[in-house]
Structure 1
Amino acid sequence: MLIGFMGSGKTTISQLLGKILAKPVVDLDQAIVKQTGSEITKIFNRHGEQYFRQLEHDSLKRIITESGILATGGGTPLRADNAEILETSGAKVILLEASGETILERLKTDCSRPLAKQMAKQQLLALKQARQSHYQQCADLTIQTDKLTPKEVVAKILASLETVV
């Protein structure tokens, strides 16, 4: 299970892990889009963040029992009930961590993130900092993704998991 701030690489890394481990992959945001038939940005614009976070929680409760690899949304661990679900799932929770500069670089051309579109750079970095303790509380393992290719990140995850098993 992958957690981390937007732009940390959760979707990309989960897809690579799924291929290597021959396991199904669920991206929580994509599951919400599929369920509602509406893009995340449209959900935020029409109904607000609270509505989206409830959809996210309901989807997490439903998906958590499926086997495979789960890439959560950047805000998923913020709710206490979601954090509890993640922590008690029995799956390893891997935090993908990236520096503020890396996040800003990865997000600069991404228009699909409603919170990032609304914020100035300093606000986005402050949001990342505010979420950090929530991520760390849930994580069994932290992987720093700065200056690593997706394949290198996956190799670090696999090596770390082998030493844990």
Structure 2
Amino acid sequence: MTEKHNIFLIGPMGSGKSTIGRQLAQQLKMEFFDSDHEIEKRTGVDINWVFDLEGEKGFRERETKIINELIKKQGIVLATGGGAVKSKETRNYLSTRGIVVYLEATIETQLFRTKKDNKRPLLQTNKSTQEILENLAYERNHIYKEIADIIIHTDKQKSKIVTYQLIEILKKNNDCFNS
């Protein structure tokens, strides 16, 4: 891991990627990006609108393009969308251009953290949220584990504690994060 200077956060919705990413970037004096926010900024509309108009396939194409563009930068923390890892191309980008951190969260934690969030297009169906999250976990969790350099559990922990734990792991394993 010694040559990797970027940090990429992957994991399911509600695992804390954006919150922890912002805190991590601030503590390490790095630039923070959120791929979903970048898509909204560049299209001028929210993620739900992109999903409605272009479907998940169109959204994922945009996401892959934006992630590829962002990870060419140096010294960034990037919070990816939960489904970004579905693209083999994106997985390869992430694995070769930075340290990949899987923020793991149980379905129960995800349910709690997303219950009042109406900005998650994959939850805007008539299926139960629990069923959707279970299906996504089945589809994606093994991929997260496969490409992760570091796995950290976010259940029942405040984001600042997770951020501190992650910084300690990074410092232990990578000289470029020791100041």
TM-score (norm 1): 0.96
Match of 1:81 in 2: 89
- 1:79-122 per-residue CA deviation (whole Å, 9 max, x = no partner) reads 11111111111x11000001110001111110000002224122
Match of 2:155 in 1: 146
Q: CA deviation at 1:134?
A: 1.0
- What SS does the aligned partner of 2:27 have? helix
CA distance in 2, matches of 1:53, 1:154: 28
Match of 2:44 in 1: 37
Match of 2:35 in 1: 28
Match of 1:113 in 2: 120
Mean Cα displacement is larger for which, 118-127 or 100-109?
118-127
1:54 to 61, 65, 70: 61
Gaps of 5+ in 1: none
Q: Which runs of 4+ in 1 moved over 3 A?
A: none
- 1:30-60 per-residue CA deviation (whole Å, 9 max, x = no partner) reads 0111111110000001111100000001101
TM-score (norm 2): 0.89
Instruction: Give percent identity, aligned residues only.
Output: 37
Q: How many residues in Structure 1 have an aligned counterpart in Structure 2? A: 164
CA distance in 2, matches of 1:116, 1:164: 37
CA distance in 2, matches of 1:34, 1:92: 25
- 1:55-87 per-residue CA deviation (whole Å, 9 max, x = no partner) reads 001101111111211111100111111111111
- 1:117-155 per-residue CA deviation (whole Å, 9 max, x = no partner) reads 224122321212211111111100000000100100001
CA distance in 2, matches of 1:141, 1:159: 12
Code of the residue aligned with 1:127 in structure 2: it is L
CA distance in 2, matches of 1:78, 1:138: 12
CA distance in 2, matches of 1:45, 1:58: 19
